[in-house]
Amino acid sequence: MNTCVVGLQWGDEGKGKIVDILAGENDIVVRYGGGANAGHTVVIGDTRFALHLLPSGSVRPKAACVIANGVVVDPEVLLGEIDSLAQKGIGLDGRLFISENAHVVLDYHKAEDRLREEALGKDKIGTTIRGIGPCYADKVGRSFAIRMADLLEPENLKEKLEKIVDYKNKIFAALYNAEPLSAADIFEKCKMYSQKLSKYVCDTTAYLHEQIDAGKNILFEGAQGSLLDIDHGTFPFVTSSNSSSLGVGPGCGVPAGMIGRFLGVVKAYTTRVGAGPFPTELDNEIGQYIRDKGHEYGTTTGRPRRCGWFDAMAVKYTVKIGGITEMAMMHLDTLAGLDELKICTGYTSDGKEVKMFPVNIDRLAKVQCRFETLKGFGQEITDVDNFDKLPEQAKNYLKAVAKAVGIPVTIIGIGPARKQTIFRK
């Protein structure tokens, strides 16, 4: 059976850990969207891997890894990741497949992301400055796009880059008074990328369907979180791709109907990096407690993550749009030590009940949360090895979240390591 794992909040839910665990029982792991804005952490023994572009299954020596057409690939980051795995004795030759149709993030995308955010000042989105928005904009705009297949054709590429960089330089100079970038330098780098990456580039859609026909099990790894989805998230404070499970089909050419299991990952609370409304945010000592205990600092940018209570209104919405039937709840251990735990079970606005999570940011900024308050659990749970041994209050919390969202919690995270995971039927 094919499985899709996606984040149901604003990213960093712990997808990397779950994908690594499930990769053990799957043949192929596929990244279908986003780029190096993602930061997926996998902890194996004393080694911590922070993966941005390689699927989280790549640390398992037998899993085939696909970077599909929906991903925007920064070759510099990707080569760094391949090298760093090689240094740890993990090779990717013969098992990494990169789509020839995936678009390439180049220096001018990162420059544009930075220049625009700087110019926006207090109105900035708070992007990761990884060039994600500008690269997806070039993809949709078509005329100035570079795909992985273009890297393999240096003569055409040289000409294309001269045209693109000239165009970008004119815009950067006019809008931001910025120094010009050199097309020749970017071309030289591309030649090096091509030499090192061409062996991995192929038609990943054909590869995936061949493997499905051969009965292989595929795991689709979502990046970001469903509330950051460009169409269904809290626009404009979102990323530039369909980061919910709705992105799978366009992102890799495998339709949702061929996926039997949709697993949503949540944190036992909520976090968000970057700007935008956040109804359950705790801008106080409880938020700081969660940040410190849960090490809530961005994997990609190191920024402190904003923390808040679990928002069942938000998750109920992302469950609906994603066709999610079960949840993995990570970081339950982080809540240990709090006297009270709150779950947001409803919103009101202007005194009226809000039926569904509003992605419209003006409406979202106005909602008032209704909370269910539960007793906290004092004891640490990071060493608990089965569900029955969890404190009653922790079990009550899980039950209340499942009830508020309307689907079961089948996996529970009680620490970053593989073994700190409890599975339920």
13 binds ligand GDP (CB under 6 A): yes
Q: Catalytic pick from 40, 52, 103, 331?
A: 40
Closer residue to ligand IMO, CB minimum distance, 33 or 253: 33
Angle between helical axes of 154-176 and 107-120 (0-180°, round to 10): 10
How far apart are CB 113 and ligand IMO at their closest, in Å? 7
d(Cα 21, Cα 421) in Å, to the nearest integer?
A: 9
The answer to whether residue 33 forms part of the interface with ligand GDP (CB under 6 A) is no
Extended strands (E) in 102-247: 103-104, 201-202, 218-225
CA distance 342 to 323: 26
In the bound complex, what is the minimum distance in angstroms from residue 322's beta carbon to Mg ion? 18
Q: Which does 172 bind (CB under 5 to 8 A by kind): ligand GDP, ligand IMO, Mg ion, none?
A: none
User: Distance between CA 52 and CA 73 in Å, rounded?
Assistant: 10
Chosen from ligand IMO, Mg ion, ligand GDP, none, partner binding at 262 (C-beta under 5 to 8 Å by type): none
Q: What would the two tokens of residue 143 be?
A: 């005329």
Binding site for ligand IMO (CB under 6 A): 7, 10-12, 37-40, 125-128, 130, 132-133, 223-225, 228, 237, 239-240, 273-274, 299
12 catalytic residue (yes or no)? yes
Residue 241 is classified by DSSP as: S
Alpha-carbon distance 11 to 113, whole Å?
20
By CB under 6 A, tell whether 229 contacts ligand GDP: no
Q: Which residue number is nearest to ligand GDP in terms of Cβ?
A: 413
- Is the bond preceding 55 in cis, omega lying within 30 degrees of 0? no
For the beta carbon of residue 121, count every other beta carbon within 10 angstroms.
7
What does the binding site for Mg ion look like in residue numbers (CB under 5 A)?
Answer: 12, 39, 299
User: Which of ligand GDP, ligand IMO, Mg ion, none does residue 274 bind (CB under 5 to 8 Å by kind)?
Assistant: ligand IMO
Place of tokens 């980061």: 243
Nearer to ligand GDP, 246 or 332 (CB): 332
Q: Which does 57 bind (CB under 5 to 8 A by kind): ligand IMO, Mg ion, ligand GDP, none?
A: none
The verdict on 405 binding ligand GDP (CB under 6 A) reads no
Chain positions 288 to 317 lying near ligand GDP, rule: CB under 6 A, are 294-295, 299
The question of whether 40 is a catalytic residue gets the answer yes
For residue 136, the minimal CB distance to ligand IMO (Å) is 9
* Residue 43 interaction partner, one of ligand GDP, ligand IMO, Mg ion, none, beta carbon < 5-8 Å per kind: ligand GDP
From the number of C-beta atoms within 10 Å of its C-beta (0-12, 13-18, 19+), residue 395 rates as middle
- Which of 317, 324, 305 lies closest to 364, judged by CA? 317
Query: Between 2 and 41, whose beta carbon lies closer to ligand GDP?
Result: 41
Shortest Å, Cβ 18 to Mg ion: 12
Residue 354, contacted partner among ligand GDP, Mg ion, ligand IMO, none, CB below 5-8 A by kind: none
Nearer to ligand GDP, 40 or 306 (CB): 40
Region binding ligand GDP by CB under 6 A among candidate stretches 27-35, 37-45, 232-240, 359-367: 37-45
Q: What is the DSSP-derived secondary structure letter of residue 258?
A: G
CB 39 within 8 A of CB 50: yes
Could you tell me the two tokens for 362? Answer: 């003006």
Nearer to ligand GDP, 11 or 264 (CB): 11
Out of ligand GDP, Mg ion, ligand IMO, none, which partner does residue 127 contact, by CB within 5 to 8 A per kind?
A: ligand IMO
**Spatial separation of the C-alpha atoms in residues 246 and 33, rounded to whole Å:** 11
Give the footprint of ligand GDP on residues 326-365 (CB under 6 A): 330-331, 333-334
Phi-psi region at 2: left, alpha or beta (left = phi > 0; alpha = psi -120 to 50)? beta
String of contacts with ligand GDP for each residue 40-79, x by CB under 6 A: xx-x------------------------------------
Q: How far is the CB of 122 from ligand IMO (least distance, A)?
A: 15
Among 55, 70, 134, 416, binds ligand GDP (CB under 6 A): 416
Q: What is the DSSP string of 356-393?
A: S---SHHHHHH-EEEEEEEE---S--TT--SGGGS-HH
Residue 385, judged by CB atoms within 10 A of its CB (0-12, 13-18, 19+), counts as exposed
3-state secondary structure (DSSP) of residue 46: coil
The C-alpha torsion from 328 through 325 and 317 to 301, rounded to 10°, is 30
Q: Where in 93-176 does DSSP place strands (E)? A: 96-99, 103-104
Q: Which residues bind ligand GDP (CB under 6 A)?
A: 7, 11-17, 39-41, 43, 294-295, 299, 330-331, 333-334, 413-416
Give me the active site residues, please: 12, 40
